[in-house]
Amino acid sequence: MEVIVECRNLKKRYFQGSVPVDALRGVDLQVEKGDFVSLSGPSGSGKSTLLNVLGGLDNPSEGSVKIAGQDLSQLSKGDLADLRLQRIGFVFQAYNLIPVLSAEENVEFILQLQGVGAAERRQRARMLLAQVGLTGMESRRPAQLSGGQQQRVAVARALAAKPSVVLADEPTANLDSATAESLLSLMAELNQESGITFIVATHDPRVIAHTRRRIVLTDGQIDQDVRVSEDEMAPAV
């Protein structure tokens, strides 16, 4: 299988004032194309830090990260931005959407940055919004959408760029159970049908139940890395 994400001996040290904090202590990880991976663990275990480093949003103190074979340490800030644009989709816990753009424009924005033509942009954005169940809400701005609908738009936007991998950081943290379940089913469905690789940082057991590969982080290190069979995964709703 093609390796999409690869990191070796990844370390990240922060300073809180003058006190060093080791958020990652030598993480080795390979994620293959089509994987649906959860990163779980207690608060402070390094989930979000790992996700930020994998997405090129933060630099590691030591070690290397490769996305689709490209070593992030060799890239400038601008090149990293281009890599994120072309290869990585993000879904964050909150503040996911650009508030002055409609749902459709939020999805189109990425395509516009990629230089996709207007007609194709519109068509793809509408198709993706339909895929995430938001037909008829294309012209609504984020403030006119519920939290779950906003996250769905974020997923549609993350997929719009046809990324190699989607990184989601606590995507269900602000959602009620039903909405969270619906979003997870959507992500699982997209993973299975389109073969899109998902890495989801979460401590929500409902999310973990939908993933095929379950990684548990403790104190900045991989404590468990388990693959489960289809039977052990939660069924799509």
113 counts as binding another protein under rule CB under 8 A: yes
Q: Is 43 in the site for another protein (CB under 8 A)?
A: no
The neighbour count for residue 3, using CB atoms within 10 Å, is 14
Question: Residue 45 interacts with another protein (CB under 8 A)?
Answer: no
Instruction: Find out whether 102 and 110 touch, Cβ atoms under 8 Å.
Output: no
Residue numbers 165-224 binding another protein by CB under 8 A: none
Angle, helix 103-113 to helix 147-160, in steps of 10 degrees: 20
How many Å apart are CA 195 and CA 2, to the nearest integer?
A: 12
Helix (H) or strand (E) holding 49: helix 47-54
Is residue 92 part of the contact set for another protein (CB under 8 A)?
A: yes
Closest CB to another protein among residues 109, 185: 109
Measured in degrees and rounded to the nearest 5, phi and psi for residue 82 equal -65, -40
The distance of closest approach from Cβ of residue 219 to another protein in the complex, given in angstroms and rounded to an integer, is: 20
Say how far apart CA 187 and CA 173 lie, in whole Å.
15
- Tell which one of 3, 85, 233, 234 touches another protein (CB under 8 A): 85
Rounded to the nearest 10°, the torsion over CA 37, 47, 90, 149 is: 90
User: What is the nearest approach in angstroms of another protein to the Cβ of residue 136?
Assistant: 22
Among residues 40, 52, 149, 197, which is the contact residue for another protein, using CB under 8 A? 52
Stretch that binds another protein, among 3-11, 39-47, 93-101, 224-232 (CB under 8 A): 93-101
Applying CB under 8 A, which residues contact another protein?
A: 52, 55, 57-58, 77-78, 81-82, 84-86, 90, 92, 95-96, 98-101, 109-110, 112-113, 157, 161
